[in-house]
Structures are given as structure tokens and as C-alpha cells.
Amino acid sequence: MNQLVIHEGSIIITLRLSRPIRLAALLIGVLGAVVLSLWVGSTTSSAAEMLHALFTPQDTVADISIREIRWPRTVTALAAGAALGVAGTLIQGHTRNPIAEPGLLGINQGAALAIVAVATVSGPLQPWPQALLALFGALVAAVIVFGLGQVDGSRGSPVTLILVGAAVTALCAGVVSTLVLLSEAALETLRFWQVGSVVHGYHAFLALWPLLLLGIVLAVANARQLNALTLGEATARSLGITAGRARVIGLGAVVVLSGFAVTLAGPIAFLGLLVPHVVRRLYGADYRWLVPAAAAAGPLLLVSSDILGRVLARPGELPVGVVVAIIGAPYFVYVARRRKLVSV
Amino acid sequence: MKRRHSFITALTLAAVALVSLIVHISVGGTPIAPGDVFTTLLGQAPDQRTALTIWEFRLPRSIAAVCAGIGLGVAGALTQTVARNPLASPDILGITNGAAAGAVALMAFTSQVSGLPAGLSVYGLPIAATLGGLLAAGAVFALVWHTSLESSRLVLVGMGISGLCAALTSWMLTLGEVTNAQQALTWMAGTVNGASWEDLGGMPIVILGMALLGGLMRNQREVLALDSDTARGLGVHLSRDRLIVLGVATILAIAATVIAGPLAFVALASGHAARMLARTTIPPVLHSALVGAIFVLLADLIAARTFSVVLPAGVATAVIGAPYLIYLVLNRSRVRVKA
């Protein structure tokens, strides 16, 4: 049933479909993006070539490029997108700040810094040590940003949090550049820890997928508590929710998911900002639906951005972090410019 | 008393700047004694080789650092005055990143289209950087002009535009044939490595002229620093004066970016630090210029001369400036809670 909805002064026609159907539509979108991602590259494969590569692989050029290059990067984008989307949704929920996200708050850069700092001394790391370092770095950055962001009395004004986050991001990015330049690493590795790309993460994904699972389980467990906390901490307490415990679980999920995403794809900013805004439009304010929807919308956005990066810079390609920033920065401006930063 | 304090700090800062300049020239691949630097600059070089090293290699680099510092410092002081907001500086607002994006866009364009006049890559660069910087500044100020410039919205919108310009710059660096990693670093982080007299071109004159102009607009600055109702009550054409001062600041920031790339936090920190040192209500232009020059000279010394690898100065200004931003933000919010 079509319905007119007055939304922030503009009139939008929304399709009133039930929420499971909308989630299914989102998942079909993800599937479409995956197919497109396997299809489009520096050369575009035909449908026959794709089927051939997927079901009866031989060592033809098309088979190898699809199985060895496009499939791994697609899976990496799916996993990193889900992690960042859910992390962004949780952060915006807990801070009630519509412009918070792990990239802008310096959590992703903190994770990248921890990895780079150890890797420049010890040489290349295995996925698990790398992931543990990323979790440690993300945790330290999160504690610093949330700690300093709350100095001004109440739970941190949106602007204070973002500015402290920007400073921590700049600081970590500066040190990462220094370390990378000093270790005279190849330009490829340099770009990876500065911008974020999904080209190298498949190996890490095969080892680290339990972390993604853990993060999403924590997020789902956190969803009901977050619903109660949205009503205010006093109401939440009367509903039997301990605010402190809920915040710790939420922060834990954010750290696990951000650390995982950074280990796979480097520090990607703005994705965690976009996803919650998209899913709130589709699902309203119920976090029991927002979390799974973010786990579908994040991959959709990241895979699409990755495809766009391959098309925009042919015959080379654009790191996905740059594409997401080109889309996300104007949206950030749009949200920041609205009359008042509405709490979510 | 107040004037005297301000005069003494200016003199002290000038002395520190001079010492930093001489140290900056003397430290390098082959160190030159500070005394020799001094006599060479006065035209009595001890030998031919020292003279050549200083005049051809060391001095352009040091002048680049000084000019970038002056440009950014004064630009920061001016925007902070107009917006009445210590966080509103051209580097936070995306003007420097916009200028860098403009310059890189031209480089990407000229590397893909053949048969362009050779002059385009030489004279086109400052023009393209100016267009990019003006576009970014115009976008930021136009998007928030309807509300007060003091609001944090200005800073947030600026941060968004800044991020967009940085992303566009890295995109265009992949489009153009920027095989030279040093060149790419210049436009991403900011550096004065390898600056030559040809690179500087007329930029030092632009910067000194605009800085002087900014310093002379003392009356406008002091009125703009009042709240807008009072300023209007005094019969000031507020929008016009704001536009003029912001225009001067934008040109300064762009010229500094053409020389040294988008050095982070120099404009933000210099204006504010100068205001604290001089104990004035608005950032003083002369002090800000000197603090900016000292900041860039020292940052370049740390970045380029501490390690075996020559790092870009922008890395050091980011690492030094970021804690300063945190300090500013926390200080500001504490003041607001008190009020």
C-alpha cells in the first residue's frame, strides 16, 4: 500500500511493506551487488564466463580473475561492510549522536596504528596477532575519545565528540604515515593502512570470521537494551536494564567489529555514518530490526562502492575507502547542516 | 601596559623566528655552522660551496617554510576573528584541502590531455589551486551563511568538505600520472622538501602583501570580533566586511598551500597560540604570522632531520597539532559549562 508520509518538511512516498519483506529486499540487493562485483572489473566478464568460473572452474584467464581476485575482494567487502555498518549503528545508538561512527571517532585509525606500530618492528604479522592488536588499538582509541568527549558534563555533546575524534584520527594517521614512511614499505602497503581497500583481506577473513560472528551476536544481544536506553536511563532501569552493563556490551561489540573491519580492509571512514541513516529510514527506531538491517545494508554499500571504484578509475582502481569518503562526506555535510543536530 | 606586553612578545617571537630560521638553514645533509649561515646571508660567505648550498638549496626551502607558516598563521587569525570561533581555521574548514584538490585536478588533467601549452602546468597550478580553494571556502561559508558563523555547524560542515576534498585528491592522484611519490606526499600531507626558487614563484610576495593587508584591517577586525548585533549597531556593513576579511584569509591559505601543500593544524594552532601569548581578545596578525613561521620551521626540522628518512613536514604538524585541537575543544566546552 502506498502512503504519503510527511518527513522533515518534504513529502516522500514510501512503500508500506512489512519489515521482513523489506529485509528480504535488502538481501536481494546484496545478492545483486555480489553478482555485479563478480562481473565487473578491468574487463567485464560474460554471464557464461561467470557460471563457468563458479561451477566448473578451469584455469582460463576469466576463471582465475573471478575466483582469485573478484570473489575474495567481494567476500572481504561483505564482511567489512557488515562489521562497520553494525558498529556505526551501535555507536549512533549509544551516543545518540547522528554523526558518530567508528571512522570519524578515530577508532578505526587507532586500530590501524596498533597494527602498523608492531608490524614495522616485527615484520608482517599473521591474521590473529594482527586482529588482537587492532582490537587493542580500537579499544584504546574508543576509551580516549569517549572519555575526553564526556568531559563537558552530560554525555558528550555531538560536536565535542566529533572534534575529539577528528583530533585522535589526525594524530593516529600522522603517526601511521611516519611509521610507514620510515619502514620504507612498498607503496601498496602504505595506501592500505592509510585509506582502506578490500584487495588484501580475504586471507584474514578466512581466519577471523568468528570475530565478526561474535561482534554481531553481541550487537543483537545489545539491541533490546538499546531500545530501552533510548527511552532514557531511568526508564531503562525500571525495565530491568543496567545502563552500565549495556554500554560495556555495546562498546565491546563496536571494538570487536571495528578491529575486525580494520584488519580486513584498513581504516574506512564514513560507512558507519551512512548505514544507520539508511536503515533508520527503512526501519524506524527498533534496534532489533536496525542491527540485522545494518548487517545487510553495510555490505550492500561497501560492495557497491568497491564496484564504483573499479569503474571510476579504469584501467586502475580507486581504493574503496576513497569512494566511500566521496559519497559519505557530502552526506556528513548534509546531516551536520540541518537546523539542529537531532538526537537519535 | 597592554601595548607594551604585546610589543615585547612580538619582539621575542621575532627573535625566536630568526633563530629557528638560522637553525633550519644550518641543519641538513652537511651541517653548516650558524655563524657561517649568518655571514652568508649578509653577503660575506666563507667559501663558494657554502654560498651555493645556502642560496640554491637551503634558503628556498626555509623561505617556503616561513611563507607557508606566515600565510597559514595569518589566515587562521583572520577566520577565527570573523567566525568568533577558535576552531574556524582554513585547515579545519577545508580551504587548504580544496586548494590541494584543485592543484591535483590540474595535474591529472594535463597528464591525460596532450598538446596543451607548456605554460599551463607552470602558471596553471596557482590558478587551479586558487579555484579549488575558493570553491571549498565558498561552499563552506555559503552552506552556513544563513545561520551564525559562530556555530559549531561551520566547523562540522568544514570538516565534511575537507574530507571530501582529501578523498577527491587521492582519487585524482590515481588518475594522473603522479609517479613521483614526493609530489603525491606534497599534496596529501604537505611538505617543503625540495622546494626551489622556481616553485616559490611569486607566492612569497602574495603572502607578505596579503598578510600586511590583513594587519592593516585592524578596525574591521575589531568590530567583527564584537557580536553581530553590536557590530550592526555601530553602523558596520557586516556582510561586506566579513567577505573582505574572509577573502584575504582564503587567498593567504591558498598561497601557503601552493607552496607547501595542506599542512594540518598550523592555521588552527597559530592564531590561538598568538592570542594567548599576546593576551589580546582577538588573534593579533603579527604574532600569528611569527608563531606560524616558527611552527612550520620547527615541524620541518623535526620531520625532515630527525630520522634517516626525510619525512614531510605535514606529518609533524598533524602529530603536534592534534593534541592542541583536543586541548582547545575541551577548554571550550569547559568554558561553556561554566557560563
Provide the terminal-to-terminal Cα distance of chain A, rounded to the nearest Å: 27
pLDDT band at B53 (very low <50, low <70, confident <90, very high): confident
Whole-number pLDDT of residue A102: 93
CB A261 within 8 A of CB A268: yes
Joined grid coordinates for residue A14: 514510501
Question: Quick check: B160 and A329 CB within 8 A?
Answer: yes
Pick from A163, A189, A334 the residue to mutate for testing the B interface (most B CBs within 10 Å). Answer: A163
For the cut 50, the answer to whether the pLDDT of residue A3 exceeds it is: no
On average, the pLDDT of chain B sits at 85
Q: Are strands A2-7 and A10-15 parallel, antiparallel or unpaired?
A: antiparallel
In this predicted model, what pLDDT tens digit does every residue of B264-293 receive, in sequence order? 899 999 988 998 888 888 889 999 999 999
Question: Quick check: B325 and A166 CB within 8 A?
Answer: yes
Pick from A155, A164, A178, A199 the residue to mutate for testing the B interface (most B CBs within 10 Å). Answer: A178
Question: Quick check: B170 and A336 CB within 8 A?
Answer: no
pLDDT band at B150 (very low <50, low <70, confident <90, very high): low
Percent of chain A with pLDDT over 90: 40
| Residues in chain B within 8 Å Cβ distance of A326 | 164, 167-168, 171
Determine the average pLDDT of the residues in B156-182: 80
For the cut 60, the answer to whether the pLDDT of residue A8 exceeds it is: no
**C-alpha distances in Å from residue A234, one per residue of A238, A240, B129:** 6, 10, 54
Question: Quick check: B333 and A157 CB within 8 A?
Answer: yes
Q: Name the minimum distance, in Å, from the CA of B90 to any CA of chain A.
A: 15
Question: Quick check: B315 and A99 CB within 8 A?
Answer: no
CB B131 within 8 A of CB B259: no
HSE-up of A221 (CA within 13 Å, CB side)?
16
In this predicted model, what pLDDT tens digit does every residue of B55-65 receive, in sequence order? 888 899 999 99
Range of lowest pLDDT (A10-19, A117-126, B18-27, B107-116): A10-19
**Residues in contact with B127: Cβ distance below 8 Å, sequence separation at least 6, in sequence order:** none
- Distance in angstroms (rounded) separating the CA atoms of residues A85 and B225: 43
For the cut 70, the answer to whether the pLDDT of residue A189 exceeds it is: no
Whole-number pLDDT of residue B288: 94
pLDDT band at B79 (very low <50, low <70, confident <90, very high): very high
Sole residue written with cell 597528464: B111
In this predicted model, what pLDDT tens digit does every residue of A66-76 receive, in sequence order? 888 888 999 99
Joined grid coordinates for residue B280: 589580546
Question: Quick check: A332 and B159 CB within 8 A?
Answer: yes
- Assigned domain for B19 exists: no
Whole-number pLDDT of residue A324: 94
For the cut 90, the answer to whether the pLDDT of residue A179 exceeds it is: no
* DSSP-derived secondary structure letter, A45: P
Closest chain B residue by Cα to residue A157: B333
For the cut 90, the answer to whether the pLDDT of residue B133 exceeds it is: yes
pLDDT band at B338 (very low <50, low <70, confident <90, very high): very low
pLDDT band at B195 (very low <50, low <70, confident <90, very high): confident
- Assigned domain for B26 exists: no
pLDDT band at A191 (very low <50, low <70, confident <90, very high): low
Pick from B111, B147, B153, B157 the residue to mutate for testing the A interface (most A CBs within 10 Å). Answer: B153
Question: Quick check: A313 and B171 CB within 8 A?
Answer: yes
On average, the pLDDT of chain A sits at 84
- Distance in angstroms (rounded) separating the CA atoms of residues B95 and B83: 15
Q: Pick the residue with more confidence: A83 or B311? A: A83
CB atoms within 10 A of CB B154: 26
pLDDT band at A7 (very low <50, low <70, confident <90, very high): very low
- Assigned domain for B36 exists: no
- Assigned domain for B73 exists: yes
CATH code of the domain covering residue B87: 1.10.3470.10
Determine the average pLDDT of the residues in A70-89: 94
A272-276, A307-311, B84-88: which has the highest mean pLDDT?
A: A272-276
| Residues in chain B within 8 Å Cβ distance of A332 | 156, 159-160, 163
Whole-number pLDDT of residue A12: 45
Torsion of CA B316, B319, B322, B327, to 10 degrees: -100
What's the domain range around B187?
Answer: 63-338
- Distance in angstroms (rounded) separating the CA atoms of residues A208 and A302: 19
Q: Name the minimum distance, in Å, from the CA of A190 to any CA of chain B.
A: 11
| Residues in chain A within 8 Å Cβ distance of B164 | 325-326, 329-330, 333
For the cut 70, the answer to whether the pLDDT of residue A170 exceeds it is: yes
Whole-number pLDDT of residue A317: 82
- Assigned domain for B48 exists: no
Interface residues on B facing A, Cβ-Cβ cutoff 8 A = 87, 143-144, 152-153, 155-157, 159-161, 163-164, 166-168, 170-171, 174-175, 181, 189, 264-265, 307-309, 311-312, 315-316, 318-319, 321-323, 325-326, 329-330, 333-334, 336-337
Whole-number pLDDT of residue B177: 61
| Residues in chain A within 8 Å Cβ distance of B322 | 167-168, 170-171, 174
Whole-number pLDDT of residue B138: 92
Whole-number pLDDT of residue A60: 76
Whole-number pLDDT of residue A65: 78
Q: Name the minimum distance, in Å, from the CA of B284 to any CA of chain A.
A: 25
CB-nearest to A177 from B152, B189, B322 is B189
Whole-number pLDDT of residue B121: 61
Whole-number pLDDT of residue A193: 74
Whole-number pLDDT of residue B46: 82
Torsion of CA A220, A222, A223, A224, to 10 degrees: 120
Sole residue written with cell 554481531: A216
Pick from B191, B193, B315, B320 the residue to mutate for testing the A interface (most A CBs within 10 Å). Answer: B315
Element (H, E) at A5: strand A2-7
Whole-number pLDDT of residue A260: 94
- Assigned domain for B128 exists: yes
Joined grid coordinates for residue A18: 512489512
Determine the average pLDDT of the residues in B212-222: 85
Closest CA to B76 of B199, B243, B246: B246
Determine the average pLDDT of the residues in B250-272: 92
Pick from B169, B170, B177, B272 the residue to mutate for testing the A interface (most A CBs within 10 Å). Answer: B170
Closest CA to B271 of B321, B228, B236, B227: B321
pTM, two decimal places:
0.86
HSE-up of A219 (CA within 13 Å, CB side)?
32
Residue B130 sits at the vertex; the CA angle it makes with B129 and B133, to the nearest 5 degrees, is 85
Closest CA to B21 of B71, B61, B76, B73: B61
Spell out the alpha helix ranges (H) of chain B. 2-26, 34-41, 48-52, 59-83, 95-112, 119-144, 152-175, 181-188, 197-200, 203-216, 218-224, 228-233, 238-260, 266-278, 285-305, 313-338
Question: Quick check: B161 and A184 CB within 8 A?
Answer: no
Burial (CB count <10 Å: 0-12, 13-18, 19+), residue A339: exposed
* DSSP-derived secondary structure letter, A43: S
pLDDT band at A188 (very low <50, low <70, confident <90, very high): low
Whole-number pLDDT of residue A237: 84
| Residues in chain B within 8 Å Cβ distance of A160 | 329-330, 333
Whole-number pLDDT of residue A5: 45
Question: Quick check: A167 and B326 CB within 8 A?
Answer: yes
Whole-number pLDDT of residue B337: 40
CB-nearest to A152 from B152, B265, B337 is B337
Question: What total number of domains does chain B contain?
Answer: 1
Question: Quick check: B321 and A325 CB within 8 A?
Answer: no
SS3 of B4-49: HHHHHHHHHHHHHHHHHHHHHHHCCCCCCCHHHHHHHHCCCCCCHH
For the cut 60, the answer to whether the pLDDT of residue A232 exceeds it is: yes
Domain coordinates in residue numbering, chain A: 2-53+60-337
Q: Pick the residue with more confidence: B85 or A296? A: A296
The class (CATH top level) of A2-53+60-337 is: mainly alpha
